[in-house]
Amino acid sequence: MSDSPKEPRLTSLAHGGGCGCKIAPNVLREILGAAPLNTAHAALMVDAATSDDAAVYKVSDDAALIATTDFFMPIVDDPFDFGRIAATNALSDVYAMGGQPIFSLAIVGMPIGKMSTDTIRKILDGGHAVSEAAGAPVAGGHSIDSAEPIYGLVAMGLVHPDRVLRNASAKPGDVLILGKPLGVGIFSAALKREILSATGYETMINSTTLLNRPGAELAKIDGVHAVTDVTGFGLLGHLSEICKGSGVTAEVDQKAVPVFDEAKALLADGVKTGASGRNWESIKDMVDAPAEIRDMLTDPQTSGGLLVACSPESAGKIIDAFKAHGHEQACVIGSVSAGDPHITVSA
């Protein structure tokens, strides 16, 4: 919380929080549907064609530049934690492409007059701390006076052109691995209603500030075919992008999907975000899933885990890489097979 008792809670200044602020996938498709792609630029290896996590530009035979940006409104009330979460989330897109972050730029929009300069400084300090830890120092940025608080990063990274990880290259026979448990959106909804326990808050912070460092290692492991990070569209939303981009079918074992225990209990009590319903509406035509599990599998994940499609033979090595970086609950949650883009969730 802010030190000033006169200041409103950060989450009260925003109509939504974290990656739950994202425009719904179907609305975004309508907005961008007629936008031209940059396929004429040979050096541009990855653009928005498959809704991948970042753009990639080949600089030389040995290096490609990853560029991405991510920002949102407060998901928590502590300004330092908000900055940390936003920075971790933005850097995740670099890791999802198999890259190593190298530097970043801050995106800052704050309601001057409603928030103290001390609170704003703490948000920036949180982002700075995470960026330094990732080896991607904040080298500058841009700020505006906005109606709601907004913070995030432009993140840059490097990867070998032959080792770029994409979301559109899953293969029949692959298994699916998820790096972090689900439930962050439910935690954020509970926090806004002031019913999240201290343990739940600590769990939420630990997850959302855990960098997806394994991504840089996955690029070096043979058998890794497709990667994305699970954020605002939920597990099923981001898996649907893998299926559509790769032209495959996916099967998810709901019993294998890791979920935070308190998030399960909160959902059972009716706590959820409005974004989960919007996410489901965007993908329901290509997903078969039991009604009781849909809200969890479409729960918007702020700074969520990496989702990996890989050969079964490489799964053990990949899970070891996750656990070496603190992703203790990384596990196999499903598989990929030939067929039209579709997802089936086991009952």
Q: Which residues are part of the catalytic machinery?
A: 19
Which helix (H) or strand (E) covers residue 252, if one does?
Answer: strand 248-252
Answer yes or no: is 145 a known binding residue: no
Sheet with 138-145, side-by-side order of all strands: 44-46, 55-58, 64-72, 150-159, 100-110, 138-145
Answer yes or no: is 162 a known binding residue: no
Answer yes or no: is 81 a known binding residue: no
Q: Which residues pair with 65 in a beta bridge?
A: 57, 158
Answer yes or no: is 143 a known binding residue: yes
Answer yes or no: is 229 a known binding residue: yes
Answer yes or no: is 70 a known binding residue: yes
Identify whether the C-beta of residue 178 lies closer than 8 Å to the C-beta of residue 255.
no
Q: Backbone dihedral region of 339: left (phi > 0), alpha (psi from -120 to 50 degrees) or beta? A: left
Answer yes or no: is 174 a known binding residue: no
Answer yes or no: is 53 a known binding residue: yes
Distance from C-alpha of 312 to C-alpha of 324, rounded to nearest angstrom: 19
Answer yes or no: is 93 a known binding residue: yes
Answer yes or no: is 51 a known binding residue: yes
Distance from C-alpha of 19 to C-alpha of 70, rounded to nearest angstrom: 9
Q: Return binding residues for ATP.
A: 22, 50-52, 70, 93, 141-143
Q: Return binding residues for Mg(2+).
A: 53, 93, 229
Q: Return binding residues.
A: 22, 50-53, 70, 93, 141-143, 229
